[in-house]
Structure 1
Amino acid sequence: MTPNDRQPPMPGEAVGEATMVDLPSVRRLEAVGFRAWPAAFVQYDGSWLIRLTAGHDSKRLNCVNPLDPSDHRDIALRLEKAAKLFAEYGRLLTVRQTPLTPPQMVAYMDGEGWTPFSHSLVFSLDLAERDLGEGMDHLPIKDVGRFIDARILIGKEDPEIKAALTEIINSIKPECGLFLFEDRELGPTAVSLVVQDNDLAGIMQFAVAEAVRRRGVGRALLDASLRWARLRGAKKAWLQVEADNRAAIELYRKAGFTEVYRYLYRTPKV
């Protein structure tokens, strides 16, 4: 493996805990991840994928994504051009650093004092290794608006993002499953969006209401999401989770998910 196949440790880990990654797997999961959560504006600068979305502040929808470790020409100039494009959208230039980011670009950002934040993990699961049963005890709903209302309520997000979320979900091209758990007294308790892209299924927008956490609701929702994906031909599931979300990481690891790679975001020193 090349030096760039070794990932930096997450906050709180010792240097020796850095892990090795399989770059072909990273490339494939990055590609399906972009299709699963599409940006309104997409532009390539060489192999750098620039994604911007005026109506939503999601970091994944507003960042530069280097996709080839060998594409490191004119780093400062290209970042300057990208910064102007981000400014047109009223956003600060943000780079998403993954194992595909050129080491020279990482060194440049280090030298310029760029701020790292929002460390995340990407997990995957071989669905053949899970006994999910054959039947479906929970079916996805068709009402996108109802799903988004529940997601906003559970996540305690600004209701004004509903229009942007609706546009994003409606623009997803692969088949989607919208899962919603509800309680007669509590209302919406859990949601997940499953995006099936050929043999891969992404678990997105996964959220469980605080009032029902640690009661098995999250595991039931995850199983229902995975069961639906497998019945439609998915062989492997994947998801992304922020590194400081310990409860979610525990849930996913107990369900059999294992880490594939890590990423973080960086912005220029202000």
Structure 2
Amino acid sequence: MATTGAEPAVSNASPLPELAKVRRYEAAGFRAWPAAAVHYDGTWLVRLTAGHPAKRLNSVNPLDPGDVVNIGERIARAARRFDAYGRPLTFRMSPLSGVALSRHLDAEGWSVFSESLVMRAPLDDAAIAEAMDQIPLKDMGRFIGAALKVHGSDASLRPGLSEILGSIQPEAGLFVVEQDEEPLATAICVHDGDLAGLFEIATDAAHRGKGHGRRIVLSSLKWARLRGAREAWLQVEADNEAALGLYRSIGFSEIYRYHYRRPPEA
């Protein structure tokens, strides 16, 4: 549920993370899940994607807590860009956003919603000891069809998802667990130097609780480990208890959190 004003902006009991560490994972996330259009206003990174409605791809991402000059004017400029794309003005607030901007948005009555955790795990031989060898799909169309089915997404998202996957610059592995040619689970693993980022992990609703999610995560990480990755990371919504339980059992721990904000409706 959205919150406003004096209510807590985020429920984060963890110590404040080092900003250099946050910047590293934020940059990896932008490379691994690229927006169609990118603009900078100072150190605010504006990401917009006409073909896909995901908040990560359609948000303002402040990257320096000290960049607080002319906040109102810059918000107005961002609003015009979002309006041109037919997207609601959305800010993605990580620890890089800073207190001053949060207070400004509080004062303007912006809502807070959709908190997520960024988690990491060391990627060594022990971490992937139980992983099965799995070769990622080369057929992007087949993977997209499987991902849309597993996520329960509308087929209209196919062109947008195809554009995103085709724009990923680091090496990306597309993984699917199938049974009788029916997709049960999907995941994307982006190998970026010593990092392995996991994205779009999902299990078909009718087949959850059977270990498919664990299998596909470990197989993806083994693939990245064999290519030189030494650390795994991912993003997960804070209220997804099933996913959090899975990731923690594999060895992931929280680094920092982020959430989204939108202005009050006119």
Which one of the candidate residues 220, 234, 243 is aligned to 1:239? 234
Q: Which residue of 1 aligns with 2:95?
A: 99
Q: Which residue of 2 aligns with 1:73?
A: 69
How far apart in 1 are the matches of 2:85 and 2:225? 39
Specify every segment of 5 or more residues in structure 2 that has no aligned partner in the other structure, as ranges.
1-7
Q: How does 1:34-183 map to 2 (within 5 A)?
A: 34-128=30-124, 130-133=126-129, 137-183=133-179
Q: What RMSD over aligned residues (CA atoms) do the two structures have, in Å?
A: 1.7
Aligned residues: 258
**Are 2:29 and 1:33 equivalent residues in the alignment?**
yes
**Relative to 1, partners in 2 of residues 1:151 and 1:46: Cα closer, same or farther, differing over 3 Å?**
same
> What amino acid does structure 1 have at the position aligned with 2:46?
I
How far apart in 2 are the matches of 1:191 and 1:241? 15
> What amino acid does structure 2 have at the position aligned with 1:199?
D
Under a length normalisation based on structure 1, what TM-score does the superposition of the two structures give? 0.92
User: CA offsets, 1:202-237, max 9 Å, x none?
Assistant: 101111112221111111111101100100000111
Contact 1:136 1:228 (8 Å CA) reproduced: no
Contact 2:47 2:58 (8 Å CA) reproduced: yes
Please state whether the residue corresponding to 1:128 is helix, strand or coil.
coil
Q: Which residue of 2 aligns with 1:192?
A: 187
Under a length normalisation based on structure 2, what TM-score does the superposition of the two structures give? 0.93
Shift of 1:19: 3.0
How far apart in 1 are the matches of 2:228 and 2:114? 33
Contact 2:132 2:215 (8 Å CA) reproduced: no
> What amino acid does structure 2 have at the position aligned with 1:229?
A
User: CA offsets, 1:43-71, max 9 Å, x none?
Assistant: 10111000001111010010000001111
Please state whether the residue corresponding to 1:100 is helix, strand or coil.
coil
Q: Which residue of 1 aligns with 2:244?
A: 249
How far apart in 2 are the matches of 1:8 and 1:161? 31
Shift of 1:135: 8.1
